[in-house]
């Protein structure tokens, strides 16, 4: 199993550009989440999904869109990038059930100029 994969690993955008961060998992996990990590801020939840076709907002959803058309994929879209969105983005997945482990991807480092 590849686990949770993310592409690209690095990305530089100009303010106002749009892009999609890709996330995929091959563990047949129902739950998937997107976090951003900023120095001194820990991991903050952007959006999450409890299954195909079902998404919800986390702590910091503004400026981001998600969709979940399949169990495997959970892309994160930046509609109009801003410098405040410079961060490291992590995708994670979890099997449904009680207290199951959350697996993280390797991250995407995004810089918005």
Q: Binding residue for another protein (CB under 8 A) from 13, 23, 25, 33? A: 33
Q: Where are the beta strands (DSSP E) in the chain?
A: 4-7, 10-13, 19-25, 31-38, 42-51, 54-57, 64-66, 76-78, 87-94, 102-104, 108-112
Q: Rounded CA gap, 2 and 111, in Å?
A: 26
Establish if 48 lies at the interface with another protein (CB under 8 A): yes
Q: Note whether 6 and 21 are within 8 A (CB).
A: yes
Three-class SS of residue 85?
Answer: helix
Binding string to another protein for residues 85 to 104, with x set by CB under 8 A, is what? Answer: -----x-x---x-xx-xxxx
Nearer to another protein, 84 or 96 (CB): 96
Q: Tell me the site size for another protein, rule CB under 8 A.
A: 24
Q: How far is the CB of 45 from another protein (least distance, A)?
A: 6
Binding site for another protein (CB under 8 A): 4, 31, 33, 40-45, 48, 50, 58, 90, 92, 96, 98-99, 101-107
């Amino acid at each position: 199993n590849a686990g949770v994969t993310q592409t690209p690993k690095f990305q530089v955008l100009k303010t106002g550009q749009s892009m999609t961060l890709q996330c995929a998992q091959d563990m047949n996990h129902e739950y998937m989440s997107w976090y951003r990590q900023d120095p001194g801020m820990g991991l903050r939840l952007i959006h999450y999904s409890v299954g195909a076709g079902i998404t919800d907002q986390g702590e910091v959803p503004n400026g981001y869109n998600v969709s979940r058309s399949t169990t495997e994929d959970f892309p994160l879209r930046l509609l109009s990038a801003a410098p405040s969105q410079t961060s490291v983005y992590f995708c994670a997945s979890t099997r449904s059930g009680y207290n199951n482990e959350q697996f993280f991807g390797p991250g995407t480092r995004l810089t918005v100029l």
